[in-house]
Structure 1
Amino acid sequence: MALSAVFAGTLVLAVDVYFHRKYENVAGLNIWGYRGRTVGEKQPGEQRVVVLGGSTAFGYGVTPDESMTASLERQLNNRRGDGGEVSVVNLAYNNEGAYSFIFTLQDYEYLDYDIVLLYTGYNDLGRENTQVYRHESPVFRLTGYSLIFPLIFREKALTLRYGDVEAGYRAGSPGEQTTFKPNLAAQATSSALDAATQISSALERQLGRLTDEPAPLIPTPSAEGCGEWWRHYCQGLDDAVSYVLASERHVFVVTQPYISDEHVEQQRLVAGMLAERFGDEPLFHFVGLGSVIDLEDRTLAPDGMHLSALGNEQIAQELVPHLLSALQ
């Protein structure tokens, strides 16, 4: 009995490793549950940045090498020259919000990261987001290994039942939070373009619209912090920032490109709360990138939210000077 269980477990692991090698650039995660190449033991002189967030940080619609995190790593190393290698690790995942950050930071302490970048806002608009994707897997919670075959089998089943994966996802989650799947925006097909349009429309219904002249992001600290509406979001950020600062590491909270008036208001209030809580901390940094990208420009944001490779390069370019100052 015990031998049978061991054999079955070994077989499952072998099959999963095979699927990881075949599909991880499409399905998104490597064997340790993050996007891109796996990083080993930290090398002498190496510094590490971890990026947390949702689908925009993850790089929905582009390959791992075209994501913001990959572009950030390239640009940082090009600018530093002989200053030592910088590794940027993509710990983001689709639909995750600020609540998940503390769990992710704890899960990946073994990476021995030096700087934390929280790219945040969209997934905490209008609801209390408590998703922690990796913790849905008991295998990951126990071992840190990320199984991929359940996702592969699920999408195969959706294809058999509904004809294609997109139809399956739409049928399976009517009225729920928009679901994002890798590489959709990168596919130059009519069905992919139709799906991108549907996602753009769903996002508009879900998040609201951005007026032509959004108010400037001016922090307005108050004793009540973010207020009742954004309390859950702000608590998640507070927990994550406090956790990083307690270990004397740099933490950057970064505003995503403005997507709606509600998003502008959210970031105005959270900037005030963070300035009040952490404004005197030299290792805390707030970077507002709300106006850097026009999300109506489909060369930069094909579906009105997720950035193309070019859009990700522009975001990374804006972040490089801030990170270089912390890497000195």
Structure 2
Amino acid sequence: MTHPAYRLSVAPMMDWTDRHCRAFHRSLTRRAMLYTEMVTADAVIHGDRSRLLAHDPEVGPVALQLGGSEPAALAEAAQAALPFGYDEINLNVGCPSDRVQSGRFGACLMREPQLVADCMAAMAEAVPLPVTVKCRIGVDDQVPEQALFALVDACVASGVSHFVVHARMAWLKGLSPKENRDIPPLDYSLVHRLKRERPELTVVLNGGVPSVEAAHDLLVPEDGVALDGVMLGRTAYHEPAGLGRVDPLIFGEDEGRSAEAALEAYRPYVAARLEEGVHLSAMARHMLGLMHGRPGARTWRRILTVDSLAPGAGLEVLDRALEAVHEAEARAAARLESAA
């Protein structure tokens, strides 16, 4: 059965969706599924697991995304993650970066559907959690219809039923990962076709979704078939206030969360991490876009960026930045009133 949280999820994003970011996003939406950054299986096996996998139980539901291509290593890493309380283990079959390619994982695995299926089977046998795939619709010169369905069918044969599909080809040669964010064009119709032809699967669409409202529209049935969910990426990070509209718009809750309410909810987490010795800047960097589009947004970003670096910086920096926004809004309102 599809977890209701999958109706709206926030994508795994390298260097962005760390523990602090997820706690911040959770202050905006209580219902959405959140994903970790990709963590390689080898890092989990040989590295500092507490640092890599630290997870606050109150920040659930959260999925751990792993990177790798060796079934045994992925199974060991998935098992190692169990004590940290994740709700799902996801395999990265979509990242196009050079580092990922050199390690034979990420998007290049689109060329090896049986290997992906073997990895998924190994993880499913190792842990009692759902194991899922996040993939592209193909890479380089592959035919998307053939590449996507070949990967899906191989994984289904190994017991996988949940797929997050980034609806853009990954070009591993000739384009940088940054360029590949916009080129080639998105193909949402192929993701809809996958759900239409494999209705028993859980299919979540990812790629280029500009807002929570757009995600809501994509969940409307098409030809009698509805996607199971939509995953937001960069827009959720750069304009996080939109996540405050997720619970009422996507999940039918009575109320959403304003930026101010989210900040209030986030304060205890920030205070606890400061007490542990975490620098404010490590948390403040994820909040820079919270006031996007509001008067004073630039001042908000400046205060958080600069003042959070000061030795001993604490919650007073957030208070000062918020006060600057409210003052800017008051000035803007006064100008409108005088012009009327």
Whether TM-score is above 0.5 comes out as no
What's the TM-score once normalised by structure 2's chain length?
0.30
What's the TM-score once normalised by structure 1's chain length?
0.31
Max radius of gyration: which structure? Answer: 2
Greater RCO, CA 8 A, separation 6+: 1
